[in-house]
Chain A
Amino acid sequence: MSGKTVLYVEDNEFNLKMVRQLLARTAYRLIEATDGELGVATALREIPDLILMDIQLPKLSGLDATRRLRADPKTAAIPIIVITSFALSGDDQKAKDAGATAYMAKPYSPRELLQMIRKLLPEQ
């Protein structure tokens, strides 16, 4: 199990479960965090290869968490996909401004999310 590590920061257990099941049949290893502060702490501790960051999180918003990770040299280079509320409402621009590598509007298609992860972080 030397697969690449993906951190998913999300407070909804069903979405976590969905991504867990989505990545179960791939070579990616998934680690999880359920709020913004935990997400930052986990990222700094584990140094994952890619981060999926929900925009709306308890304790620390996804945008603030992204800014903190970008400000820390240990995590500054990790690709971050920010999951925004609605692609048309200007959140995508806010995500880019916060330092997101890419963004995905919620509700997202699991198929498209997996395509995006594979594009940013090749499985092998």
Chain B
Amino acid sequence: MRWVAGIKVSVHGKLLAGYLLVTLLVIGMGAMSLQTISKMSTQSQLLDEAHERVHWSQDIQHALAMQMNFTAMALLLRSETTVENILRENNRFNNTLARLEKAAQPEEVELIQRIRAAQGDAITTVADIANLIRDGKIADAMRLQQEKQYPLYRRIEEFVTQLVLRESNKMDQLRASVAAANRSTLILMAISAVALMLVALLLGFVISWSFILPVQKAHGFVSEVAKGNFTATINVPNRDEFGALAAHMNHMSQELQRLYEVQHRASQELQRLNERLQQASKAKSNFLANMSHELRTPMNAILGFVEMMLDEIYGEVPPQLREPLTDVQTNGKHLLRLINDVLDLSKIEAGRMELVLAEYSVQDVVEIIRTSLQSLALEKGLEFVAAVDDDIPLAFGDGKRITQCLMNLVGNALKFSKHGRVALAVEQQGKTLLYRVSDTGIGIPKDELENIFGEFQQVDTAITREFSGTGLGLNITKKFVEMHGGRIWVESELGVGSTFFFTVPLRVETSEVT
């Protein structure tokens, strides 16, 4: 099989060669039987001929007997005319003998010539007998007949019998030879048929397995590659199409292995970079946590001492000092808000901001906003309305971040409105909470609406100075809303007012939080 597989001939060529070989063997077998048939037919022709010669010999014997008979009749009847019958029989004898001679085997020719010679003598004797009868010398004729003609005929008879015997022997031999040829042909044909079958089977087996083996190996190889073993190789002895296919497959697995290694190196590189990035991110996160406290500790002292002064813990505050002390306090608080916002934003950007998920009451959140900002609204002479349905159930999310968002939005609304009203409303819409903060403030120009949630995006710096915002509140609010899986948007008309909307799920799915 390996040998057949290794022959450098195409599959097509191998199949053709196999069929051709079997076909040639069949043709060979046919030729052999044709030859046998022709030999047998020759022998049977020889047999026919021998049979004919025997027939002729019997004819000759018959003619001879008739001659004897007519001679006897001529003697008995003393009739010369009977001699003519003898001559007629003699002619028949000679004709038949001539035919026999023509068909005779070389070894018989001598015997036939002796028969002819003897017959010649016998006819001369018959002529003599006829003459004696005509002359009335019957006794002489009878003697001649008795002494000469009869022995002659006996000799001829003997020769013919020998001839017949020879032919008979020959015929026996021929028959035996035909029978033997029959037998041997039968055996030969049987052996040939069996051999042919075996050759055909062997060829079929060898050729088909020389195809099946590489296919089986290819199957194993492809399974290995499919399992991810790209170092697998396929090794077939075939130098035909299967061999070419196997070579291509090996090339393919080498290429896959190369690609796999390239990709593996790339992914290792990526992993290393990722680890470094995580380390950097962790370092940044630690830095933020430390900074957060480090910045607040001095702020704590500044704001604390000012508050204690204003609370007159150190004694009475002279009226002219009260205003500058209050200015220090106001700016200190603004600086603190900035610090808080910058730190929140940094944490969000670093991906270190995590929501603290728990159940919270929407009503409580609204109440905190109302109590915290009521005084600011009163100071500015604004109407502040906070409305929330009592039947909104407990929500799940980061209540403090939601509070921070509303503090930013309501704080902005109060800051940017000089008169009129600020309203906060919460509605439940199915599984979503819709928060709405509307004001009667200065409004936002249309071309600024898109940028309003970006970083440091207060509409103009003069307003920033006047209203003293950090410029980070809306950006942080947007990010917290999105971390909850919600959405924020604004509708506004210049000089009429703005309404900010945001939605958050009533119950945040833990997996939704990013």
Task: Tell me the A residues contacting B by CB distance below 8 Å.
Answer: 12, 14-15, 18, 21-22, 25, 55-56, 85-90, 93, 106-111
Could you list 8 examples of A-B contacts with CB < 8 Å?
A15-B297, A15-B300, A18-B300, A21-B313, A107-B303, A107-B304, A110-B304, A111-B307
A86 to B400, CA, bound (A): 12
- How many chain B residues touch A (CB < 8 A): the figure is 27
Asked whether A110 and B301 contact (CB < 8 A) given A86-B296, A88-B400, the answer is no
The residue on B at minimum CB distance from A89 is B292
Partner of B292, one of A15, A85, A109: A85
In the complex formed, the residue of B with least CB distance to A105 is: B296
Q: Which of B296, B304, B336, B356 contacts A90 (CB 8 A)?
A: B356
Complex-state Cα separation, A108 to B297, whole angstroms: 10
Given the interface pairs A15-B297, A107-B336, A110-B311, the reply to whether A88 lies near B401 with Cβ below 8 Å is yes
* Contact of B311 with A106 in the complex, beta carbons under 8 Å: no
Name the residue of chain B whose CB is nearest to the CB of A55: B293
In the bound complex, residues from chain A placing their C-beta under 8 Å from that of B311 are 110-111
Q: Closest 10 A-B residue pairs measured CB to CB? A: A107-B300, A14-B301, A56-B293, A85-B293, A18-B304, A90-B356, A107-B299, A106-B296, A88-B400, A12-B297
In the bound complex, residues from chain A placing their C-beta under 8 Å from that of B314 are: 21
Q: How far is the CA of A89 from the CA of B292 in the complex (A)?
A: 10
* A90 vs B336: C-alpha distance when bound (angstroms): 18
The number of A-B residue pairs with CB atoms under 8 Å apart is 64
Task: Kindly state the separation between the CA atoms of A22 and B343 in the bound complex, as whole angstroms.
Answer: 30
Contact, CB under 8 Å: B356 / A93: yes
Bitwise interface map of B from 278 to 293 toward A, beta carbon under 8 Å scored 1, else 0: 0000000000011011
Given contacts A25-B313, A86-B340, A88-B401, contact A18 B301 (CB under 8 A): yes
Q: Which residues of B contact A87 (CB under 8 A)?
A: 400
| Chain B contacts to A: CB under 8 angstroms | 289-290, 292-293, 296-301, 303-305, 307-308, 311, 313-314, 336, 340, 343, 347, 354, 356, 400-401, 404
Does B301 contact A86, Cβ atoms closer than 8 Å? no
Cα–Cα distance between A86 and B353 once the two chains are bound (Å): 13
Pairwise interchain contact B304-A15, C-beta atoms closer than 8 A: yes
Please judge, given known A-B contacts A55-B293, A106-B296, whether A21 and B301 are in contact too, CB under 8 Å: no
For A88, give the chain B residue with the smallest CB separation.
B400
Q: Name B400's closest neighbour in chain A (CB-CB).
A: A88
Q: Which residues of chain A are within 8 angstroms of B305 by Cβ–Cβ distance?
A: 14, 18
- Among the listed A22, A90, A93, A106, which residue makes an inter-chain contact with B293, where contact means beta carbons less than 8 Å apart? A106
Are A106 and B307 in contact, with the CB atoms below 8 A? Answer: no
Which of these, A15, A88, A111, contacts B301 with CB under 8 Å?
A: A15
A106/B308 contact (C-beta < 8 A), A22-B313, A88-B404, A89-B292 known: no
Given contacts A21-B313, A110-B307, contact A85 B296 (CB under 8 A): yes
- Bound-state Cα–Cα, A90 to B289, Å: 12
Complex: how many Å from CA A90 to CA B308? 28
Closest to A83 in B: B300
